[in-house]
Amino acid sequence: MSDPRYTPLRERHEALGASFTDFGGWQMPVRYTSDLAEHHAVRQAAGIFDISHMAEFLVTGESAGEFLDYALAGRLSAMPVGKAKYSLMLSDAGGIVDDVIVYRLADDRYLVIANAGNRGFVDAAFAKRIRSFPSLIERQSPARAEGEERSFAGFLGDRGVDVEDVSESFALIAVQGPAAEAIVAATAGITDVSTPWEAQKYYAWADARFEGESLLLARTGYTGEDGFELLVRAADAPVLWDALMTAGEPHGLVPAGLAARDTLRLEAGMPLYGHELTTETKPAQAGLGRVVVSEKESFVGKDAVAAASGAPVLVGLVAEGKRAGRAGYAVEDADGAMIGEITSGALSPTLGHPIAMAYVTPSSAEEGTAVFLDVRGTKIPATVTALPFYRRMK
């Protein structure tokens, strides 16, 4: 067993009294004080999260956009500089290897942020996809075709593509909630912001400096609230955390852990890899068919991306009372027949009743369908509902 990994903010978390848990091989704060208090702070004011365990890949070169169109399910080459897009990395069999966010930094430069637990899989998949990239094969020299030992990135040079895992170089801090913009804008040391705050849109990013060093301000998040994810040099993360905490004090900013992050994303209907998304899941089953640009000439998984007829589909479930279904609990029909399984569930702190996401048979997926949750032997009535469960106030 490998030693646990910690982010550059470990000392800050320990000083705040955080409880830690393993997450993808990382020791991450699960809570600081109370799951509920941290959840409510994000909905009502703001929370600050350490998400430095996430994996970052730089994709560069003249063919970077074209390569990402092939390596991922979306059309990333058409995305303007300054924007971000949610996308999927698919297997040859059409299942989901990971869900990622892609930022276009320049015409020939992209940042891909992947899930921490999938870092190795994504790295290996990118390496394999470079080798099978159609444009590379078309330009391959006879020497390369005969097995000459050179990297494909080196072979293509400036005309091609290079993928670099830069996860160790950076830290990522999220500030989420209605007060997020006011807090980040007031943070001492953040200067030279390239886009006025009022012009920064959701799923876009701005250049800035923190203490004179490069800072990427992304208006993205995983909570269903407005907010920012700040990518900074790993060495600068503790000072940035302190500056954000100081700026956030008048606004009610609190540190928040993985427990609050999970209930927040569940309320927002956001899938979690390993729960709603797996290599056995096709995008259409998870309600992510819109992410796949099927008309692209070629991309990994294209020929297998369609879900089989009758395959389970992801739905939202709401129930009364206080007993929540959890991942792995059965979903049944009125006759007691199993029609699905819960992937994530909790008593919603914001809504006050149990909510869950589950995969059920298509015949039971229509909104308003009555079902039952098997909660440790007790049948709990529930109703199929549209996702998300919660939308932030404008």
Which DSSP string corresponds to 65-94? Answer: HHHHHHHSSS--TTSPTTBEEEEEEE-TTS
Q: State the DSSP code for 271.
A: -
Position 392 scores a pLDDT of 87
Q: Look up tokens 């303007």; give the residue.
A: 80
Topology match between the domains 1-268+294-305 and 307-385 = no
Residue 31 tokens, joined: 């809570």
Residue-range domain boundaries for the chain: 1-268+294-305, 307-385
Position 136 scores a pLDDT of 59
Other residues' Cβ atoms within 10 Å of the Cβ of residue 243? 19
Position 1 scores a pLDDT of 59
Q: Which amino acid is at 75?
A: R
Position 24 scores a pLDDT of 87
Q: How far is CA 90 from CA 11, 110, 299, 307, in A?
A: 37, 19, 9, 13
Nearest-angstrom CA–CA distance, 129 and 98: 15
DSSP 147-204: T----HHHHHGGGS-EEEE-GGGEEEEEEESTTHHHHHHT-TTEE--SS-GGGPPTTB
Q: What architecture is the 1-268+294-305 domain classified under in CATH?
A: 2-Layer Sandwich (3.30)
Q: Where do runs of H (alpha helix) occur along 101-141?
A: 119-132, 134-139
Please list the rounded mean pLDDT of every run of 10 residues in the chain (394 residues): 88 98 95 98 98 98 96 98 98 98 98 97 96 68 40 44 96 98 98 94 97 97 97 98 98 98 98 98 97 96 94 97 96 96 98 98 98 95 97 74
Superfamily of domain 307-385: Aminomethyltransferase beta-barrel domains (2.40.30.110)
- Cβ neighbours for 124, distance < 8 A, ≥ 6 positions apart: none
- Cβ neighbours for 370, distance < 8 A, ≥ 6 positions apart: 334, 381, 382, 383
DSSP E strands in the chain: the ranges are: 19-23, 26-31, 46-50, 55-60, 84-90, 96-106, 109-114, 162-165, 170-176, 190-191, 205-210, 213-218, 227-233, 253-255, 313-319, 330-332, 338-347, 354-360, 370-375, 378-385
Position 394 scores a pLDDT of 55
Nearest-angstrom CA–CA distance, 347 and 261: 14
Nearest-angstrom CA–CA distance, 6 and 393: 35
Which of 205, 203, 185 is CA-nearest to residue 195? 205
What is the dihedral angle through the alpha carbons of 136, 138, 140, 141, rounded to the nearest 10 degrees? -160
b or e along 114-150 (b: 16 or more beta carbons within 10 Å of the residue's beta carbon)?
bbbbbbebbbebbeebbeebebbeeeeeeeeeeeeee
Indicate the burial class of 237 (C-beta count within 10 angstroms; 0-12, 13-18, 19 or more).
buried
Q: Is 58 helix (H, G, I), strand (E, B) or coil?
A: strand
Position 266 scores a pLDDT of 98
Other residues' Cβ atoms within 10 Å of the Cβ of residue 360? 23
